[in-house]
Structure 1
Amino acid sequence: MPASSAETLQRAVARLYGALGAGDGDGVLALLDPGFEGRIADGMPAGAGLHRGAEAMLRDGWWAIGRAFKVIAEPEGWIACADGRLLVAGTYRGVARGTSAQVNARFAHLWSGGAAGLTALEQWTDTALWCAALNERDPA
């Protein structure tokens, strides 16, 4: 993959993390190809599964998670893959809205992009940590 393509994909993904963290739905949609497909890890207590279409991913994926949790994705490692995709490793940090219990869960995101924007995401995370946060009370 040419460096410029890898850099372009990394910049788009970094902007997407910022837009998601800010709750900027229009900003998120501007970065996604309309045919975007996102897979949220099976076992997630909100938003799990395959979402086809940019608006479906926003509404039924990311915003579903946002209704249950106040979290941000903090990327810590960026790996350009030989096939043109981008692997991002990091940590989700935040709280479950209903319990105020902390969520600190590692993630791996595998991103794909095209001429019209980001085209796909596959997410892996420790879903048990997310589920536990919904069922615990913050001891503080």
Structure 2
Amino acid sequence: MSAKPSDALPPHGPATPPTDKELVLKVIPMPADTNGNGDIFGGWVMAQVDLAGSVLPARIIRGRMATVAVNQFVFKQPVRVGDILSFFAAVERIGRTSVTVDVEVYSESFRDQGQFCKVTEASLTYVAIDENGRPKPIPR
């Protein structure tokens, strides 16, 4: 039985990707990334968000950095095998040694591309570190 395009839409309707954030990563989850329910494992999504969130701070820090905080992480909808996930990020704050980034994740069905559903949003903080792993000031 094949699904109709309207079956692929989330119960709250389609979403529009943000225009105030930069697309920093696109990925397609595979069967090995599923949990016991057959949905994509939340820990896998979290790892991808951490990678996506690090892209913009890397431009600012220009050296080693580490994730020091996941300030917020909300799973809004399940992610399914074969969905195309788009990760959008924006820098929210630059401190003396740290950068805080907001990340939003949108899924779209591989067959119905262009119809987006917001599945996750998060806020993460990265800190610039020296060769000994200690915080260091961000170059200005």
**Higher Cα radius of gyration:** 2
Tell me: higher relative CO, structure 1 or 2? Use CA pairs within 8 A at least 6 residues apart.
Answer: 2
Pair in the same fold by TM > 0.5 = no
**TM-score of the aligned structures, taking structure 1 as reference length:** 0.31
Higher helix share: 1
